[in-house]
Amino acid sequence: MHLTLVAFYQKLEANCGKCLDLKDQIDLFQRTVKSDLPGQIKNQNDLLQHLFKSIFLFSVGSNDFINNYLEPAVFDTSKRYSRQQFVQVLMDAIARHMETLYNLGVRKTVMFEIGPLGCIPSISKAQNHIFNDELRATLANLTTIFQGSFFVLGRANRIGYDAITNPIKYGLMDGSSPCCTTWANGTSGCIPFLTPCSEPNNHFFWDAYHLTESAYSVIATSCFNGSTVCIPLNIKQLVEM
């Protein structure tokens, strides 16, 4: 799920609709661990082992840029923070949230980079690279801080750009045009009630922000058993740890 790390939530919801932020998700998970799981797993040690072996996957950061930092008409975030400062705010939030999860028993985490933001990836290359470089360093640091934990980086940006420029390599026909008819000449969300393309599996983008099932399948398969998308471990290796 694409989650919001930090934002002015009331304004965000008024402008873009409900977006469940990472803190809310973790609060719900904490309630599950404290109230629901003990009813199913009676032994506390067994419960901890269940959590230790579970894999938690996150895709964060894109909403913070698309629906906040890159919306200066709605938010003043880009006036208050430089790109580097804003990314640091996001990294600090990630570290806090990962500490909370670690204390609940989470040990195996996969966190994906920001992929190409929109159907014209060059618009946001600077934001992508700053965030993704810092995310890699942050996850490496968290691995050393939280004993017994594994943090896997999903390099969605790398494979995303490759699929956009070389779609046939991944069994796609179109790496740039969205499947649905969108607002703003292909750079926004789908226009309601209009019929989408007849072959979505040939496209990388569903709309300007979301990928098609085929695109996600390419990323997921590479992350599960490949060696270049998810590092330093793929999902199969992480299961065996």
Unique residue bearing structure tokens 């995303």: 160
Write out the chain's pLDDT in tens, 241 residues: 344 455 444 444 445 556 678 888 899 999 999 999 999 999 999 999 999 999 999 988 887 887 788 778 888 888 999 989 999 999 999 999 999 999 999 999 999 998 876 555 545 666 678 899 999 999 999 999 999 999 999 998 888 889 989 999 999 999 888 899 888 776 678 899 999 999 999 999 998 888 899 999 999 999 999 999 999 999 999 999 8
Closest Cα partner for 25 from 95, 81, 90, 98? 98
Other C-beta atoms closer than 10 Å to the C-beta of 27 total 12
Q: Where are the alpha helices (DSSP H) in 81-211?
A: 83-104, 125-145, 156-165
Long-range contact set of residues 38-47: C-beta below 8 Å, sequence gap at least 24: 47/105
Question: Residue 65: what pLDDT?
Answer: 80
Unique residue bearing structure tokens 């402008």: 15
Distance CA 54, CA 104 (A): 12
Closest Cα partner for 83 from 49, 46, 131? 131
Q: Hey, where are the domains in the chain?
A: 1-154, 156-241
Distance CA 65, CA 44 (A): 40
Distance CA 162, CA 176 (A): 11
Distance CA 53, CA 240 (A): 9
SS (H, E, C) 200-227: HHHECECCCCCECHHHHHHHHHHHHHCC
Do residues 81 and 89 touch, judged by C-beta distance below 8 A?
yes
Beta bridge partners of 174: 203
CB within 8 Å of 90: residues ≥ 6 apart: 5, 6, 60, 61, 64, 131, 134
